[in-house]
Amino acid sequence: MIILDGLGDRGIPAFGGKTPLEVAETPNMDRLASAGQCGLVDPLFPGMPVGTHTGICLLFGLSKQHTMKLARGPIEASGVGLNDNDQALYFRCNFATLKKDEDHYDILDRRAGRINTGTESLAATIGRVDLGDGITASLHPATQHRVVLQLEGSGLSHDISNTDPGNLYKTKGLLSCVPNDPSDRAAVRTSNAVNRLIEIIHEKLSQHPVNRQRIDNNLPPANGIICRGPGKLPKVKPLLNQLKMKTAVISGEKTVLGLGALLGYDLFMNDQFTAAHDTDLNAKVRTTIQALDDHDIVYLHIKATDIYSHDLDPTGKREMLLKIDDAIAPLITDSLVIAITADHSTDTNTGRHTGDPIPSLIYNPRGRVDGCMEFSELACNSGGLGRINSSGFLLSMLDQMNQLENFRPKDSVFVL
């Protein structure tokens, strides 16, 4: 399964109202579409935007019920190797550029210019922070500007708010962390600890050498964090494990790798595999071919399509699709079932995830053919797979692989 992060899009005025996929020349994807079945995929529900972790969870075989309860923080934590403390509370955070205004923080850049160097030094400076009341905190760098916050202590609660107002509302500034239920003493205690930490981090990082150098180079300093998605490490069992399938994940994105680690899948990582446009696509495909020798199903994840959307760069997204199409040619054989889909759609006009369904295909050399002649949002609208959710898409692929038995009551968690 090839997962092109943020693949689906909306019409781009510069492209005459067409999407980057609709204007990209993708002969290999078109070849798979014309010899297979196409459709539109809703990750959870029609019209509902989702985050990367939600969309990937479903494609990785986690049930809807477990997916909707799973926070992003522990997935990110697993991606950086923090997977042995099921009592700690983990947050997905960004290094950000903040400006303190009395008791309020303005957000100048939610990603600190997508900082990708020096984050280890920033986190090391914070070290292990004693927040009082038996609570300690530490930061652990992830991909680019992302960082994981680990809170340790007894009686911590995840029932607290995010400090991130979101990109559309960043003018509100950094939000205070508050308990969702003011009468919940554990949540009050936890949220107070987060707010104390935010003050400490901003004070320690404002004059850090990495940030002084960034300012000298006209780059936004990473002088604070914004936090969201708190949660503890879950105990879950995906469908692929129930089916006793050997599963591999190939990615340069810590969220995807973290989820794979949580589920017990084999991870294939390489310094050449990044979560940006410079990822080595050919090396990823070669690794995929190698992994197929001793795995039943291999997930090949590519993040760059989503990054271009968030950066409002439709031309970059189109060009990346051309490169991906060229790179996947060696995978097209008469012995593989190949699926192409995404975790969600991302609108390159606004940079936000949307609830638009994802163009998707499944190619089986001995499967049905539906008459779609190309791979795009428009073409997939008339495909034989119809409009299904991500769980149904995975089941359809597994069925094409002859991996499913007739329905049993215990299977209901994965199909309802």
- DSSP 3-state of 141: strand
- Separation of first and last alpha carbons in the chain: 22
What fold, for 2-70+237-415? Alkaline Phosphatase, subunit A (3.40.720)
Q: How far apart are CA 409 and CA 398, in angstroms?
A: 18
- DSSP 3-state of 384: coil
Q: How far apart are CA 75 and CA 66, in angstroms?
A: 13
In this prediction, residue 374 carries a pLDDT of: 97
In this prediction, residue 255 carries a pLDDT of: 87
In this prediction, residue 223 carries a pLDDT of: 97
User: Tokens in use for 86?
Assistant: 């099921």
Q: Give domain limits for the chain.
A: 2-70+237-415, 79-231
In this prediction, residue 84 carries a pLDDT of: 78
Phi/psi region, residue 317 (left: phi>0; alpha: psi -120 to 50; beta: rest), is: alpha
In this prediction, residue 20 carries a pLDDT of: 98
pTM metric for this prediction: 0.82
Q: How far apart are CA 93 and CA 72, in angstroms?
A: 10
Nearest to 228, CA basis, from 162, 167, 170:
162
In this prediction, residue 85 carries a pLDDT of: 83
Q: Each residue's pLDDT tens digit in the chain (416 positions)? A: 999 999 999 999 999 999 999 999 999 999 999 999 999 999 999 999 999 999 999 999 999 988 988 888 998 898 888 877 878 999 999 999 999 988 889 999 999 999 989 999 999 999 999 999 999 999 999 888 999 999 999 999 999 999 998 776 778 899 999 999 999 999 999 999 999 999 999 999 999 999 999 999 999 999 999 999 999 988 888 999 999 999 999 999 988 998 998 899 999 999 899 888 999 999 999 999 999 999 999 999 999 999 999 999 999 999 999 999 999 999 999 999 999 999 999 999 999 999 999 999 999 999 999 999 999 999 999 999 999 999 999 999 999 999 998 987 877 777 65
Task: Give the alpha-carbon dihedral of 103, 190, 254, 147, to 10 degrees.
Answer: 30
In this prediction, residue 121 carries a pLDDT of: 96
Cβ pair 349, 19 in contact under 8 A: no
Residues 6 or more apart in contact with residue 61 via CB below 8 angstroms: 238, 239, 240, 241, 263, 394, 414
CA dihedral for 406, 395, 331, 30, sign (positive or negative): positive
In this prediction, residue 416 carries a pLDDT of: 59
State the burial class of residue 289 (Cβ atoms within 10 Å of its Cβ: 0-12, 13-18, 19+).
middle
CB atoms within 10 A of CB 73: 28
Task: Give the alpha-carbon dihedral of 291, 294, 299, 301, to 10 degrees.
Answer: -10
User: Tokens in use for 146?
Assistant: 């992302």
Cβ pair 247, 294 in contact under 8 A: no
User: Tokens in use for 401?
Assistant: 């692989």
The residue whose two tokens read 């390489």 is: 270
Q: Which helix (H) or strand (E) holds 126?
A: helix 119-126
